[in-house]
Structure 1
Amino acid sequence: MKKIILSVATLATITTFAQKTDSLQVKDVDEVVLTASRKRENIKEIPSSVTIVGEKQVQAQLTVNSDITSILQYTVPSLATSSGQTSNTGQTLRGRQVLVLIDGIPQSTPLRNGARDLRSIDPSVIERIEVIKGASSIYGNGADGGIINYITRKSKSDKKISGISQVGITGQPYGGTLGVRASQFLSGKITNKFDYAASFAYERTGYMKDADGVNLSPTYSPAKMDNYNGMLKLGYDITDNQRIEVSYIGYASKSDLDLGLKTGKYGITPTIGEGRGLNLETTPQGTPRNHNVKISYDNKNIFWNTSLNLNLYLQDFRTVYGYSDTFLNGGQSNVISKKKGARVNFDTQLWNSQNSQGEVIYGVDILNDQTVQKLEDGRYWTPDMDMTNIAPFMLVKVDLFKKLTLKGGLRYENMNVKVGDFNTLSTLKTDGTFTKSIFVTGGELKYNAFVGNIGVRYNIENYINVFGSFSQAYSINELGRILRTSTSDTINNLETKPIIVNNYELGATGQIAKWLNYEVTSYVSTSKLGATFIQSPDRALTIQRAPEIVYGVEGFLHFTPVKWINFGGSYSWMEGITSVKDDGDYSTKINNSRISAPKVLAYVQVKPTQNLSVGLDMLHAFGQDRFDPNTKTGLYAYGEGEVPEYTVFNFKSSYDINKSWRLSLGIENVFNKLYQPAIAWWAARDSDFTNSLGMRGTFMIEYKF
């Protein structure tokens, strides 16, 4: 299938998180962003919607909870709330799926979204997190709602060796909940040309319990889990203009939690962990491997006013889920994904005068993604899927009068997916019988299209900067899910067309009198074919392909009346509608598995002395009542359950003993509130109705040298 699609560049404001404090702040300095255009750019020149979570903000949130999905829910306004589990199902960005990267290496598995891409790295190794909000094709397949790029630490010291050592304990006011974590980061320069950065982190979590001291459900549980993260970066400056860097980042997690599952009743009694688990030989659930290898080469002047950035990368990912009896003879499923890729990026300066400059960025992306979902006993749940994507691109950027930025680009997506022959799995139906397995003949699926981007940002004065944009994403999302529920004997009879998202955005940002920063953004995204989980008449989950519109607003205020205190907050709201009959009647709402409830984040940070910092974060999730239950059964369909509102407070503090030693104390759910995560309600299933984590404290000691 071939389409020509015109578009416009992603555009919005930049939210940064302060480096001098542990709280939200938009900095009036030359902050640099890497992800928006795949090069280092000043914030004031970028017509893109970007949230930057800085290193100190990551470390402060790490003191409260090391789960990266929790850190993100407290720092990214338009990201849905965390489930508190190893799965990030439902944690969408602006109502759509997000592409997760580590240093530009794709972690997501859009061919079969296993929902474990957010939890693919330990926060201790993160220097900053850059979030591109809104549809983007900058990094290829899967960025319907935007991009989350974990940028890892690098060497910043001229010493031969410097580092940060951290040890900590976590615990709840109940027995058996004690956990430990430790991390070590080392960096330095061996010679004037050779530098390195290395780290290792380990965490052992304890049992996790709700506010009443009851064990949380063992399904997708992060309790009794060993988490490992290692990193090694070696850099060599060949000349003043040339540099080569080799890096490895590895992550692994596995659980030895042995709790039985006591299924509750939706809306009444939570599902909990009780007794001992099944006496079966099972594989520990978790992500046993996530290997990332990258080689990058930079040349600042390879030819006429042109720089080159070349990246070669490999990723080897495997994640394992818990035992389920919904398959004939039972089993555990896994998702395995192996990626190989190359990115060639040229940047040519067309002109550079005192009041204006112009440049063109161009190159090609090559990606091979091999993904499959199987059971641990070898049975296929999806076929082998082998995607090759070759995408040349070009982006033109013009800056005028140091106030006006214009950006526009074009990218040609050319995807070819080879699908193997397979037998569908026999799965359990609501009447207690199993579906019939059928043989499906594979083949090749080809997709290609032009996508483009254009946008403008006008920095009128410090107190008012306006922006507007139109941007696109092109992705093959949940192809494996569509194939595995096939009722046809050939893939050519299935609806496997790609998702093409058009994102429109308007907003304003600014700084007033150096004590108030603000941002307000509105957006609309449309797609002729979406991909949403819905419930079939026999209560099985299927993928709905239908036209969609998602729209929303978000914004924040940040106050710094005096140096020793700052406070503020953010608000996000969205809605999504679809035309299930493709007749232009958008009267059906996209369900709550994608459209999250409005969310308010608020914080206050106080520094009563130079060495002491104390803060309080609040997350308020509003209620969500968008659907009615079935009139005959009184049951909600999957994704349509009514979600009640809840409010949670987290406490965080740190004390600098001297330049080398720091003590930190964080308390999650400081008032020990008993509540359920949003997914427990909107999923509307007994087994998913679980409580959230009760009060838990983290104490850490840090040494810098």
Structure 2
Amino acid sequence: MKKIILSVASLATVMTVAQQKDSLDIKDVDGVVLTASRKKENIKEIPSSVTIVNQKQIQSQLTVNSDITSILQYTVPSLATSSGQTSNTGQTLRGRQVLVLIDGIPQSTPLRNGARDIRVIDPSVIERIEVIKGASSIYGNGADGGIINYITRKSNSEKTISGITQVGITGQAYGGTLGYRASQLLSGKVTKNFDYVLSMAYERTGYMKDADGVDLSPTYSPAKMDNYNGMLKLGYNINENQRIEASYIGYASRSDLDLGLKTGKYGLIPTIGEGKGKNLETTPQGTPRNHNIKLSYDNRNLWPGTALDVNLYLQDFRTVYGYSDTFLNGGQSNIISRKSGARINLDTQLWNGQNSQAEVIYGVDVLDDQTVQKLEDGRYWTPDMDMTNIAPFMLIKVDLLKNLTIKGGLRYENMKVKVGDFNTLSTIKNDGTFTQSIFVKGGDLEYNALVGNIGLRYNINPMVNLFGSFSQSYSINELGRILRTSTSDTITNLETKPIIVNNYELGATGQMTEWLDYEITSYVSTSKLGASFVQSPDRALTIQRAPEVVYGVEGFLHFRPARWINFGGSYSWMEGITSPKDDGDYSAKINNSRISAPKVLAYIQLRPLQKLSVGLDMLHAFEQDRFSPNVKTGLFAYGEGKVPEYTVFNFKSSFDIDKSWKLSLGIENVLNKMYKPAIAWWAARDSDFTNSMGMRGTFMVEYKF
């Protein structure tokens, strides 16, 4: 199928809201962004909302919790709250799935979304996190809600060797084992032109308990887990214009949690860990491997006025889930994904005048993504899926009068997916009967589309900068889940059309005074054929394909009235509606598994002494009551449970002994509040009805040399 997709939608009302900015250096606002246009540019040139989580923020949040899903929930307004598990199910961005990258290498597995893509790297190796909000096709398949790109550390030292050593312990007041972590970063220049970065990190988590000291559920638990991360990056400057760089980043996690599972009752009794677990698992839960290899070549002067950037990459990913008895004979499943690709980027200056300039960025992306979900005993839960994507693109950027930026681009998506023959698994229904396994004939699926984006940013003065944009994404997200629940003997009879999202955004940002900056943004995203989890009559999860509209507002306020104090906050709100019968009636709502509750983030950071920094973070999630239970059973369907509001405070502090040594202390859930993560409520299932972690402290020692 071949389409040219353009549409028009009204923009939501702009309202004043707020975003966390946790840093005592206000200059961090004016950061350089790489992800938005695949080249370095100032954030003031981008006609859309971008969140940069800088290195200071990452290190500060690391003192409280090393889980990146937690770090992001406290720093990105429109990202849903963390589940506190190894899975990031429900942690959507603007109500849609997000594409996760490490230095531009895709980590997500959109062919079979296993919800393990956010938690695939240790934060100690990250220099900054760039979050591009809203649908985007600039990095290919899967970015319906936006992009999260982990930018890893680079060598900034002129020394032969310099480094950062961190050692820390974590623990709760209820006894049990302590957790501990250690990381070592080395970087420097071997010669004038040859530089390197070497990083190693290891973390061993302890038992995790709620505010009453009861062990949390072992399902998808990050407790008693070994986490490993290693990075080697080698760079050589051929001359002042040319550079070649090679890197390897590896991550692995492995759980040996020996707790049994005591299933509770939704809304009444939480599911907890208790006693010893049954030996049903042959492989530890976690992500046994996530290997990323990249080779890049940059030439800033390929010929006069033209720069070239070439990236070649490989990614090898495997994640393992816990034992499940939802299918005949039970078992554990794996998602295995192998990606290889190339990105060729050229940047040509069209003109460069005194008050205006223009450039065109163009090239081609090639990606091969092989993904499958299998059981440990070799049975296929999804067929082998092999996607080849070739996508030429072009983006034109024009700067006029030093304060007006216009961007527009096109990308032609050409995707082909080879699907292998397979037998569906026989699953257990609610009444104890089994669905019959059927043979499904595979084949070839082909998708083609021309997607575009256009945006404008007008920097009127430092106090008022206006921006507006239209952007599209194109993805075949969750094809594997659609195929694995097939009731047809051939894939040609299944609804496997791609998700095409049109995103409209309007906002304003600026610096009112030297000590106050702000941003306010509204957005609408539409799709003629979205994809949401819905519950079938036998309570099994299926994919609903229907037209959708998601809209919302977000923004931040940041105050710095004096050098010793910094405070502010953020607010985000969204709603999603759908037309299940595709009849123009959008009275139905997209469920809470995608549409998260409104969220307020607030913070205060103080420096009462030059060497001492103390701070407090707050997360407040509002109540979410959008659905009613079934009249006959009194039960909520999956994704429709009522979510109560909750508020959590985290404390963090650091003390600089001297230029080399620093001590840090962080306390998560400092008031030891008893609450449940949002997923425990909206999932509306006994097994998911779990508590969140109680108060936990982290003490770290850092040495720089």
For the superposition of Structure 1 and Structure 2, which TM-score range results when normalised by the shorter chain?
over 0.9
**1:601-642 alpha-carbon deviations (Å, 9 max, x no partner):** 000000001110000000000000000000000000000000
Whole-angstrom CA distance in 2 between matches of 1:514 and 1:528? 45
Counterpart of 2:418, as a letter, is: K
2:197 corresponding residue in structure 1: 197
CA distance in 1, matches of 2:382, 2:279: 28
1:192–1:26 distance in 2 versus 1, CA, 3 Å: closer
Q: Which residue in 1 is equivalent to 2:644?
A: 644
| Match of residue 506 from structure 2 | 506
SS where residue 293 of structure 2 aligns? strand
Distance 2:305 2:553 in 1: 41
| Contact 1:17–1:53 (CA under 8 A) maintained in structure 2 | no
State the match for 1:141 in structure 2: 141
Q: Which digits, 9 at most, give the CA deviation of each residue in 1:637-682, with x for residues without a partner?
A: 0000000000000000000000000000000000000000000000
Tell me whether 502-511 or 44-53 shows the greater mean CA deviation: 44-53
In 1, Cα distance between equivalents of 2:327 and 2:178 = 35
Within 1, Cα distance between the matches of 2:459 and 2:175? Answer: 56
What is the one-letter code of the residue matched to 2:452?
A: G
Shift of 1:43: 1.5
CA contact (8 A) 1:294 1:314 kept: yes
Aligned to 1:672: 672
Distance 2:532 2:413 in 1: 23
| Structure 2 counterpart of 1:629 | 629
Task: Name 2:234's counterpart in structure 1.
Answer: 234
Contact 2:74 2:601 (8 Å CA) reproduced: yes
Instruction: Name 1:653's counterpart in structure 2.
Output: 653
Amino acid at match of 1:22: S
Distance 2:19 2:148 in 1: 14
Q: Distance in 1 between matches of 2:136 and 2:314?
A: 22
Q: Map of 1:337-486 to 2, 5 A cutoff? A: 337-486=337-486
Q: Deviations over 1:477-526 (max 9, x none)?
A: 00000000000000000000000000001110111111111110000000
> Partner amino acid for 2:379?
R
Give the letter for the 1:417 counterpart.
V
The secondary structure found in structure 1 opposite 2:680 is helix
Percent of aligned pairs with the same residue?
83
Q: Distance in 1 between matches of 2:559 and 2:7?
A: 36
Q: Contact 1:555/1:571 (CA < 8 Å) preserved in 2? A: yes
Matches within 5 A, 1:665-704: 665-704=665-704
The 1:348/1:43 distance shift into structure 2, 3 A limit, reads same
Shift of 1:22: 3.3
User: Would the aligned equivalents of 1:189 and 1:195 in 2 still touch at CA under 8 Å?
Assistant: yes
The 2-side partners of 1:17 and 1:569 are apart by 5
Q: For the Cα contact (< 8 Å) 1:312–1:343, is it kept in 2?
A: yes
Q: CA, structure 1 residues 244+16, in 2 after alignment: closer, same or farther (shift >3 Å)? A: farther
Cα displacement (A) at 1:239: 1.1
Which residue in the other structure is 1:312 paired with? 312
**Are 2:17 and 2:555, in contact at CA under 8 Å, matched by a contact in 1?**
no
Q: Is the 8 A contact 1:331 1:376 kept in 2?
A: yes
User: CA RMSD of the aligned region, Å?
Assistant: 1.6
* Equivalent in the alignment of 1:282: 282
1:83 corresponds to which letter in structure 2? S
Q: Deviations for 1:247-304, whole angstroms, at most 9, x for unmatched residues?
A: 0000000000011100000011000000111123520000000000000000011123
CA distance in 2, matches of 1:7, 1:167: 53
Residue 43 of structure 2 corresponds to which residue in structure 1?
A: 43
Report the CA distance between 1:175 and its aligned residue: 1.5
Alpha-carbon distance in 1 for matches of 2:20, 2:539? 43
Answer yes or no: is the 8 Å Cα contact 1:456–1:468 preserved in 2.
yes
Residues 419/112 of structure 1: CA separation in 2 closer, same or farther (3 Å cut): same
Q: CA deviation at 1:47?
A: 1.5
Secondary structure, aligned partner of 2:61: helix
Task: Tell me the residue number matched to 2:211.
Answer: 211
- Return the letter of the residue paired with 2:283: T
The answer (yes or no) to whether the contact 1:17–1:25 under 8 Å persists in 2 is no
The 1:453/1:281 distance shift into structure 2, 3 A limit, reads closer
Q: Secondary structure at the match of 2:69?
A: helix
Contact 1:7–1:472 at 8 Å: present in 2 too? no
Quick one: which amino acid aligns to residue 111 of structure 1? L
Counterpart in 2 of 1:591? 591
Q: Does the Cα contact within 8 Å between 1:92 and 1:98 map onto a contact in 2?
A: yes
The match for 1:293 is: 293
Contact 1:23 1:57 in 2 (8 A): no
Instruction: Say if 2:180 is the partner of 1:174.
Output: no
Secondary structure, aligned partner of 2:63: helix
1:190 & 1:687 partners in 2: Cα distance? 54
Distance 1:63 1:27, change over 3 A: closer
Are residues 28 and 51 of structure 1, via their aligned partners in 2, closer, same or farther at CA, if it must alter by over 3 Å? closer
> Could you tell me how far apart the structure 2 residues matched to 1:275 and 1:472 are?
50
Tell me, yes or no, if the aligned pair for 1:15 and 1:50 is still in contact at 8 Å: no
Which deviations, in whole Å up to 9, do the C-alpha atoms of 1:45-91 show, x marking residues without a partner? 12232100000100000000000000000000000000000000000
Which string of whole-angstrom CA distances, capped at 9 and with x for unpartnered residues, describes residues 518-545 of structure 1? Answer: 1100000000011100000111000000
Distance (whole Å) between structure 1 residues aligned to residue 155 and residue 203 of structure 2: 24
- Structure-1 separation of matches of 2:142 and 2:258: 35
| Residues 688, 215 of structure 1: alpha-carbon distance in 2 compared, 3 angstrom cutoff | same
For 1:669 and 1:88, the matched residues in 2 are separated by: 20
Per the normalisation by structure 1, the TM-score is: 0.98
Quick one: distance in 2 between partners of 1:95 and 1:410? 24
Task: Tell me the secondary structure at the aligned position of residue 323 of structure 2.
Answer: strand
- 1:183 and 2:191 matched: no
Q: Taking structure 2 as the reference length, what is the TM-score of the superposition?
A: 0.98
Corresponding residue SS for 2:529: coil
Following the alignment from structure 1 to structure 2, what is the Cα–Cα distance between the partners of residues 491 and 161?
Answer: 56
Q: Distance in 2 between matches of 1:555 and 1:273?
A: 39
Contact 1:7 1:453 in 2 (8 A): no
Q: Matched residue of 1:434: which SS?
A: coil
Spell out the pairing of 1:21-100 with structure 2 (5 A cutoff): 22=23, 27=28, 29=30, 31-100=31-100
The amino acid across from 2:492 in the alignment is: N
Structure 2 matches for 1:141-160, cutoff 5 A?
Answer: 141-160=141-160
Tell me, yes or no, if the aligned pair for 1:17 and 1:57 is still in contact at 8 Å.
Answer: no
Q: State the distance in 2 between where 1:628 and 1:192 align.
A: 67
**Does the 8 Å contact 2:384/2:420 carry over to 1?**
yes
- The change in CA–CA distance for 1:15 and 1:125 in structure 2 (over 3 A counts) is farther
Alignment partners' CA distance in 1, 2:114 and 2:402: 44
Distance 1:85 1:631 in 2: 32
Please report how far the alpha carbon of residue 390 of structure 1 lies from its aligned counterpart in structure 2 after TM superposition: 0.1
For 2:551, the equivalent position in structure 1 comes to 551
Q: Is the 8 A contact 2:20 2:602 kept in 1?
A: no
Identify which range, 109-118 or 40-49, moves more after superposition.
40-49
Per the TM alignment, residue 26 of structure 1 is displaced from its structure 2 partner at its CA by 6.7
Q: Which amino acid aligns with 1:548?
A: E
Once residues 609 and 681 of structure 1 are traced to their aligned partners in structure 2, the CA distance between those partners, rounded to angstroms, is 43
User: Matches of 2:130 and 2:273 in 1, distance apart?
Assistant: 36
Q: Kindly indicate whether the alpha-carbon contact (under 8 Å) linking 1:516 and 1:558 is maintained by their aligned counterparts in 2.
A: yes
Residue 254 (str. 1) matches residue 254 (str. 2): yes
Question: In the aligned structure 1, how far is the partner of 2:99 from the partner of 2:499?
Answer: 14
Letter in 1 for 2:543: I
Residues 15, 25 of structure 1: 8 Å contact kept: no
Q: CA separation in 2, counterparts of 1:628 and 1:14?
A: 29
* Distance in structure 1 (CA, Å) of the matches to 2:616 and 2:215: 27
The list of structure 1 runs, each at least 4 consecutive aligned residues, that deviate by more than 3 angstroms after superposition, is: 11-18, 21-29
What is the aligned partner in structure 2 of residue 527 from structure 1?
Answer: 527
- Cα distance in 2 for residues equivalent to 1:301 and 1:670: 54
- The Cα offsets for residues 172-195 of structure 1, whole Å up to 9 and x where unpaired, read as 001214100000000000001100
Does the CA contact (< 8 Å) of 1:26 and 1:517 recur in 2? no
Q: Distance in 1 between matches of 2:510 and 2:198?
A: 38
| Distance in 1, Cα, partners of 2:19 & 2:387 | 36
- Taking the aligned partners of 1:363 and 1:121, their CA distance within structure 2 comes to 29
Deviations 1:102-130 (A, max 9, x none): 00000000000000000000000000000
